Amino acid sequence: MSLSQTYVDKIRLAAELLHDCQRLFFITGAGISADSGLPTYRGIGGLYNNQATDEGIPIEDAISGEMMESNPAVSWKYLAQMEEACRGASFNRGHEVMAEMQEAFEEVWVLTQNIDGFHRAAGSKNVIDIHGDIHVLACTICDHRETVEDYSGLGSIPPKCPKCGCVVRPEVVLFGEQLPGDKCELLMSEWQNGFDIVFSVGTTSVFPYISQPVSYAKYHDIPTVEINPGDTSVSHIVDIKIAGRAAESLDELWRLYRDQ
């Protein structure tokens, strides 16, 4: 059997599982947004790869919570570079499929590590963006909060709050910072309601809060599906491993489900 036939057969198996499901849970990572042309900050095609920043420090130190407090200009310099590299990109077919599935199932939830906002832009309603959204800015002192399309009109870097003049920052989880408590509580609450199937899409699942839903589902006999061209930390435990890119695989999955 050819590799392509194996690939299609596994997608067909996943599509068949969906017919017994009402509540779907997707976990997504950089792989789904890579299909929109977004670079990662390291790795193949990354913005920084194995290079240090202009300041001679790792990028993780430059965009850390500690640096944002002590020298926000450094953090903003690289956050702005990341936003500019992603500017003009939009959601892709993979994001659209998850949004379209809302019409066919009782509930579709998405836990995403991505900060691009593409899931909501594509129409998904139940999104837990655990790392935040780079387009949402909040003052570090007062209650000012705003959503911007991009950073081109922000003026000075770091930008200042229009209400109090203090530094604003993106509502994203920087290195060394805690995950937002409200989003963690929402995640736990929805898991208590139960899910019928779990998909891991385009993530290496290196963080425990990303891999644990898959492990929990496997332990409780909830079907698990991974879509990723490479092997990850959960590849050995999922019921169906689809070795393909996110957008293409999800589009084929949705097509096969509707044709069955």
Unique residue bearing structure tokens 């290079």? 51
Residue 42: phi, psi to the nearest 5?
A: -140, 170
Q: How far is residue 188's CA from residue 203's CA, in Å, rounded to a whole number?
A: 20
Q: Which amino acid is at 188?
A: M
Q: How far is residue 177's CA from residue 89's CA, in Å, rounded to a whole number?
A: 27
Residues designated as active site: 131
Q: How far is residue 60's CA from residue 82's CA, in Å, rounded to a whole number?
A: 13
* CA distances to 19, 137, 140, 202, 225 from 154, in Å: 48, 11, 16, 32, 41
Q: How far is residue 87's CA from residue 44's CA, in Å, rounded to a whole number?
A: 19
C-alpha closest to that of 27 among 228, 220, 175: 228
Residue 201: half-sphere exposure toward Cβ, Cα within 13 Å: 30
Angle CA 151–153–158, to nearest 5: 60
C-alpha closest to that of 41 among 77, 72, 81: 81
| Radius of gyration over every alpha carbon of the chain, rounded to an integer in angstroms | 19
Q: How far is residue 50's CA from residue 55's CA, in Å, rounded to a whole number?
A: 14
What percent helix, strand, coil does the chain show, rounded to 5? 40, 20, 45
